[in-house]
Amino acid sequence: MNAMTDDPVLTVRGLEVAFETNDGTIEAVRGIDLDVRRGETVAIVGESGSGKSQSMMAAMGLLASNGRARGTAVYRGRELVGMRERDLNRIRGDKITMIFQEPMTSLDPLYRIGRQLAEPMMHHRGLSRRAAREKAIALLDRVGIPDPQRRIDAYPHELSGGQRQRVMIAMALSNDPDLLIADEPTTALDVTVQAQILTLLADLQRERGMAIVFITHDLGIVRRFASRVYVMRRGEVVESGDTHTVFAAPRHPYTRMLIDAEPTGEKAPPPADAPMALSGERVRVSFDIGGGFLKGPPVVLKAVDDVTLRLRKGQTIGIVGESGSGKSTLGRALLKLLPCEGRVVFMGRDISGATKQDMRPLRKELQLVFQDPFGSLSPRMTIGQIVTEGLLVHEPGLSAKDREQRAAEALREVGLDPAMRNRYPHEFSGGQRQRIAIARAVILKPHVVVLDEPTSALDRSVQKQIVALLRDIQARYGMAYLFISHDLAVVRAMADYVMVMQAGRVVEEGDTGAIFERPASDYTRSLMHAAFALTDFHEEARRVAQGG
């Protein structure tokens, strides 16, 4: 261990990154120092906007056109900042490689993965097409793509998210790099897949002795995966050191806040005689995929298959599952935003056969909050208009002045300054936008709110605030929540009843405490392992990879 610690791969000193924007210069990184030694894993952790990605982008010469970098970033004695593009290209993709967060968009959809893998090898190593292909197959095999001989000719869209991320890793490994920069490589993936990818990276690192810089906001990953950690906040490194030391005794209050940011607390179930707010009996939703004129018969996909759910006033049901498990579809079907089979009853009224027109007056009582706080607010409306749109529909008698008053109250209720109601969504952060979306839902004082992953796109500390806000509002108005999430920690803090879904079916359900303490099904157990494991990472991830 000590032999390798004296061999620096990347040394960053006083790195500054600034962006020129319409609002003047934004200093994204304000002079950070960072060392990466051969064969070690360094984590850069911080919340969005802390400059953790931009610092590495600057070292790689990949800043956006309005960005400027100052300071030094030395890779094996060569200065990277200000290096000519041509020389940089000789290092990038060869000795230093990157993998990105979004496996959907970092592969070119027009080319077969074999070609995308072979390209850097032919370019940097001068391999022939045939040799590059041979090596690509070997790499795919190594990163765990089944049947690589055949898969090498697949297009990116034919692979799952996890497989695509494996291909990205294979691409990053193709020229035996010294340094792999992984920018949130597992954030977009389900927990079980996340664990497999991390195992793979850890194994590859041990095998090849490359250094990994791991950029993430997820402290769980840092704790299990990195040997040293840099904590960044507003462009500065506030704390750095050995992972164990930092986690055991955080010196900076910000680090302590990050570590404590896991949502805590639990929700008491509603009284047994609480009236039923919304119930669904044997709900099924199916989609026809493909088919149509000249395309042959359609394939029927059962997105939600025979699910029964009873939501009482004041209750929160958590629905957990991985992507594609049908949990969002179920939420929308219960609100009659999607056609479904089965019986849906809202406040004693059967709405199974309700048409869109029938549902419109009921929309006041049935609200929905979305996952993506960037996509769910119309960019050309002020937040005052956004929040009061429901009033426009359901209380048309209100004057513009009354609406303004109500908007101000609702914004204050979700912890925003009412003076900001004439601003546009793009001027707000993710957490603030989610508050706006919540204000839009609660201004109508609904009985039931479906929360579709409301915290998934947010930083941990913001998540905690949003969870507190949602609980606070529920306590005040006695709303019933249907809380859809893949994040078990948040569900444990929010819900008093949990349903676990897999492939459209409920595999397990029960009171939150019971499910989390004694998960009955294998699937639930594997989810728990991936989410809460505090034991040794490698052993743990291997267990998950083998199917829990």
Partner 1 sequence: MQMRLDPAADPDDLARSLADAGPSRSLWQDAWLRLRRNKAAVASGLVLAFFALVAIFGPSLAPNRYDEVFPQYVRVPASLEAYPRAERIVPEFESVLARARVEVGEITLEGGTISAPIVTDRGIDPRFVRFVERSNLFTHARIVDVSADETRATMVADVQRTYFFFGTDAIGRDLFARTMIGVRISLAIGLLASLTALVIGVTYGAVAGFLGGRIDGVMMRFVDILYSLPFIFFVILLVVFFGGNFVLMFLAVGAIEWLDMARIVRGQTISLKRQEFVQAAEALGVKPGGIVRRHIVPNTLGPVVVYLTLLVPKVILLESFLSFLGLGVQEPLTSLGVLISEGAANMQGATWMLIFPAVTLIVILFALNFLGDGLRDALDPRDR
Q: Would you tell me which residues interact with partner 1 (CB under 8 A)? A: 22, 335, 337, 359-364, 366-368, 370-372, 375-382, 389-390, 392-394, 404-406, 408-410, 412-413, 415, 417-424, 426-427, 437, 440, 442-445
34: phi then psi, degrees, rounded to nearest 5: -155, 140
- Minimum CB distance to partner 1 smaller for 138 or for 393: 393
Instruction: Report the residue number, 337 or 507, with the smaller CB distance to partner 1.
Output: 337
CA dist., res. 34 & res. 323, Å (int)? 36
Q: Is 481 exposed, middle or buried (0-12, 13-18, 19+ CB in 10 A)?
A: buried
Cβ pair 473, 466 in contact under 8 A: no
Helix 129-142 to helix 161-173 angle (10° resolution) is 130
- Which one, 200 or 335, has the nearer CB to partner 1? 335
Nearest one of 477, 467, 481 to 335, comparing CA atoms: 481
Q: Smallest distance from the beta carbon of 384 to partner 1, in angstroms?
A: 9
To partner 1, the closest distance from the beta carbon of 275 in angstroms equals 19
Query: Which is nearer to partner 1, 42 or 407 (by Cβ)?
Result: 407
Q: How many CB atoms lie within 10 A of CB 37?
A: 17
d(CA 524, CA 501): 9
Comparison of 124 and 423: residue with beta carbon closer to partner 1? 423
Sequence-distant (6+) residues with CB within 8 A of 415 are 435, 465, 469
Residues with Cβ within 8 Å of 518's Cβ and at least 6 positions away in sequence, in order, are none
Shortest CB 111 distance to partner 1, Å: 22
Least CB distance to partner 1 at residue 370 (A):
5
- In the complex, the smallest distance separating the C-beta of residue 231 from partner 1, rounded to whole angstroms, is 29
> Distance (Å, rounded) from C-alpha 373 to C-alpha 438?
10
CA separation, residue 22 to residues 18, 19, 66 (Å): 13, 10, 11
**Measured from the CB of residue 244, what is the shortest distance to partner 1 in angstroms?**
41
Instruction: For residue 397, give the DSSP letter.
Output: T
C-beta of 418: minimal distance to partner 1 in Å? Answer: 5
Beta carbon nearer to partner 1, 262 or 389: 389
Nearest to partner 1 of 49, 241 (CB atom): 49
